[in-house]
Amino acid sequence: MRASAAALALILAAPAPAQEAPASAIPWLSDSLANRGAAPRADEPEATPLTQTDVTVSSLAGTRRDAVGLLPVALTGLPRETFAGSDPARLEALLRAQPGGALPAIRELVLMLLLAELDGPRAAADPDRLFLARIDALLEMGALDQAQALLERAGATDPAAFRRWWDTSLLTGFDTRACDAMAANPGVAPTLPARIFCLVRGGDYPAALLTLDTGRAIGAISAEEDLLLAQFLDPELFEGEPPPPAPRPMTPLAFRLLDGIGETPATRDLPLAFAAADLRPTTGWKAQIEAAERLVRAGTLDPNRLLALYTERRPAASGGVWDRAAAIQRLDTALLSGETDKVADALPEAMARMRDAGLLVAFAELYGARLARLDLPREAAALALRAGLLSESYEAAARGAAPADPRDAFAAAIARGEMPSPPPGVLPAAIADGLTGDPPGDLSRLVAEDRLGEALLRTALMLEDGPGSDPQDIADALAFLRSIGLIDTARRAALQLLLLA
């Protein structure tokens, strides 16, 4: 009787469209990441500031969720009105269009925008629209910890926010806390299978079975979900049978259910948000390294975490990840020994391996400052200088450097804040124009209209192809970053454009 009452209470407490996503939510999780929003077209008319729309009025005692952040203004240096004059729908479209392979300096800038404490758009009829778009952008970047912290600070008591918090908690390992929150407020449960999962996690198998049977009877559970939940509830009953097929698209709950029956899906081809699940120590070493590489490449995992994995043990094979781990181990050992000849021998392969994997900037963050202090032979010294220039210590690395290569000399001058004539080539010329010229008028007008955030997101799209971006876009983007005081971002982006080409 107790089990029956508990199960029926959970079912009846859910909103009528129990199996539908909240109207305000994008399809979660795989759908939202696979179907990226399109960027505003180049010929699309510029959005005008909204002045005649309904304005949401909030109590002075409260704070709108779209103004909640993790980074205070004193830390970011951004004005509180960064988003104030923008149309929330356009901001959402720009966030959805952000490239996954952006320059590291630009990824950091976008991440700062997503986490900053800034006033919400004045014209927002729905004050949650930008907030939810920020959360979704963080999850697309694989920034699960940041998304979870932002959701918890802002509050995730409504279905749209709870659904995101629930999915994030499943992937970060905090599902027990999420289940406790669902038990306290069952009306926010994302799906009926989610409630069944929580009943099992809480040890109430009779209620879970009854809820599953009820879901079958009312047609609220698909055949695919039925098979997966049944095996999760009683794995021994299906012993010797093939595992249930992995659903497409994969969801965090399906991932956890498959994990629970010992059929953990590979995350390599899943959206980036799933990669965090492979960082658990119970996962194989190779899978941990591959997941860490994906997240470091996206700028949402500390490169030191990847270094710890690379050097954890001796590679068991060759090729791909193993070759990178072996090259990093060899360089790391040489640096610890202090023998410059060994460093000079190990450095070329380590840098080549990391460049091929799209991890050269992460490599520079790990080793650039240390390499810049060594007295290395000429060829190794040139590589060490490039690593230093790609690191956060680029100014120190460039101090006193006089490389023979014209491009390296130009890069060192940029790092020192100088601007000599660029070497031949379209890219160096575009960079020089950007670091000396005036910003484009359209972006400057956005700043005057309290739409700086919109301008920065557009700037990020202008550089989405890295060194292959349109030269005029490169010049305009760098000039704009300089004009608003983001000198360090402009220099780092210029150095990355030049040295990653």
Query: Over the stretch 353-407, which tens digit does the pLDDT of each residue have?
Result: 999 999 999 999 999 999 999 999 999 999 999 999 999 999 999 998 989 999 9
- Whole-angstrom distance, CA of residue 368 vs CA of residue 49: 44
How many CA atoms lie within 13 Å of 378's alpha carbon, on the beta-carbon side? 4
CA angle 296, 323, 464 (to 5 degrees): 35
33 pLDDT above the threshold of 80: no
- Whole-angstrom distance, CA of residue 436 vs CA of residue 447: 20
pLDDT band at 189 (very low <50, low <70, confident <90, very high): confident
- Six token digits for residue 367: 């080793």
Q: How far is CA 234 from the centre of its chain?
A: 36
- Whole-angstrom distance, CA of residue 377 vs CA of residue 277: 43
- Whole-angstrom distance, CA of residue 288 vs CA of residue 51: 50
The predicted model gives 234-253 an average pLDDT of 84
Helix (H) or strand (E) holding 485: none
Q: What is the mean pLDDT of the chain?
A: 86
pLDDT in tens, 392-451: 999 999 998 989 999 999 999 999 999 888 999 999 999 999 999 999 999 999 999 999
Q: What is the pLDDT of residue 62?
A: 56
Amino acid at 297: R
pLDDT band at 463 (very low <50, low <70, confident <90, very high): very high
Lowest mean pLDDT segment, chosen from 29-43, 116-130, 215-229, 419-433: 29-43
Lowest mean pLDDT segment, chosen from 14-23, 133-142, 219-228, 339-348: 14-23
The backbone torsions φ and ψ at residue 281, rounded to the nearest 5 degrees and listed phi first, read: -65, -20
| DSSP symbols for 364-433 | HHHHHHHHHTS---HHHHHHHHHHHHTSTTHHHHHTT---SSHHHHHHHHHHTT---PPPSSHHHHHHHH
Nearest to 449 by CA among 50, 131, 147, 148: 50
- Six token digits for residue 135: 């959360």
- Whole-angstrom distance, CA of residue 416 vs CA of residue 401: 10
3-state secondary structure of 128: coil
Question: Measured on CA atoms in the order 266, 269, 273, 279, is the torsion positive or negative?
Answer: positive
Using a pLDDT cut of 70, give the percent of the chain over it.
87
Which one is predicted more confidently, 51 or 107?
Answer: 107
Amino acid at 325: A
The DSSP bridge partners found for residue 116 are 71
Q: What is the pLDDT of residue 400?
A: 86
In the chain, what are the helix, strand and coil shares in percent, each to the nearest 5? Answer: 60, 0, 40
- Name residue, tokens 């004009």: 483
Q: If you ran DSSP here, which 8-state letter would residue 284 be given?
A: -
Q: What is the pLDDT of residue 124?
A: 73
